[in-house]
Amino acid sequence: MNKLADQLEGIKTVAIAGHVRPDGDCTGSCLGLYNYIKDCFADIEADVYLEEISEVFHFIKNTQVIDSQFKKEQVYDLFIALDSGDKERLGEAVRYFDTAKKTICIDHHISNTGFADVNHILPNASSTCEIVYTLLEEAKISKAVAEALYTGIVHDTGVFQYSNTSELTMNIAGKLISKGINFTKIIEETFYKKTFVQNQILGKALLESKLLLDGKVIVSALKKVDMERYASKSNDLEGIVSQLRITEGVECAIFLYEMDNHEYKVSLRSTDYVDVSKIAGYFGGGGHKKAAGCTMAGTIQDIVKNLSLHIKEQLCN
């Protein structure tokens, strides 16, 4: 895929959307792209479709334009899907994807199904925000665009500590910093800072965690009643699985929380040897080698047992 400008030739309307339960990379890439289009292609009508984003991302310019109702009736010239491994991950925004005259997917998930007309998938990239940066004209990137893209890179690299961080990642981050962004504030307030409720729910998850497979696997689960007790939302659970993973001796971390209809959202993280994208893919999910997820039905015990069997198989090979 060439620069974004080539894809926007002749385009009058564009829809931008990311995956359900948007995280930092999803939010940053969508708003970064939106702000760039508004800056450089003023004649194009652009809309952003995302589910409700975390309050920590509200500092990014133009969060107020995000449409979380998905009720607008429009057929777009172009639909750009960001950070989404398959069409179903777009949630309610898929209705605009299905009717768009042209579709593009920009993503870094190795499990991406190539569901768009044009697919720009770079599994070795740290984040979708990193890929988006390479598609823009560097000289035209504003401070607001830089803030959005830097936020996404920070979140998907764990502040540059995960193995998906590369020399290119660091170079791009440096160029974004040169735009005058307050990078320390972005890191502190969107990645590290937690509310009292978030700390409470994190504490519960850590306190009730269990070790399996001779300490190589750690698992923790939260039921719906737990989340209701703390008045917490799914956004409040971000970072729990990563905190579990850094336990000494642990190779793989499993964190799951109950959603509606007795289904559980499962997050998987690994340290070195386990490819969790294969495990998540087996159960209908996807992601990266060391960070993946899926949705599973059943009891906590059955879900953990099934996941553990797949983890054990990889550890024994």
At 1, the pLDDT band (50, 70, 90 cuts) reads: confident
Average pLDDT score, the chain: 96
Q: Are 308 and 286 in contact (CB under 8 A)?
A: no
Token pair for 42:
């003023």
Gyration radius of the chain's alpha carbons: 19
pLDDT at 137: 97
CA 192 to the chain's CA centroid: 17
- Please list, in sequence order, all residues whose beta carbon lies within 8 angstroms of the beta carbon of residue 283, skipping any fewer than 6 positions away: 266, 294, 295, 296, 306, 307
At 317, the pLDDT band (50, 70, 90 cuts) reads: confident
pLDDT at 2: 81
pLDDT at 68: 98
Q: Are 291 and 280 in contact (CB under 8 A)?
A: no
Token pair for 141:
């990137």
Q: Are 154 and 190 in contact (CB under 8 A)?
A: yes
Dist CA 222 CA 288 (whole Å): 23
Dist CA 160 CA 76 (whole Å): 36
In terms of Cα–Cα distance, which of 4, 269, 314 is closest to 141?
4
**Which domains are seen in the chain, by residue range?**
4-192 (3.90.1640.10), 196-316 (3.10.310.30)
> What's the pLDDT tens digit per position in 250-297?
999 999 999 987 899 999 999 989 999 999 999 999 888 999 999 999
pLDDT at 262: 80
Dist CA 71 CA 294 (whole Å): 27
> What's the pLDDT tens digit per position in 60-101?
999 999 999 999 999 999 999 999 999 999 999 999 999 999
Mean pLDDT across the stretch 117-145? 98
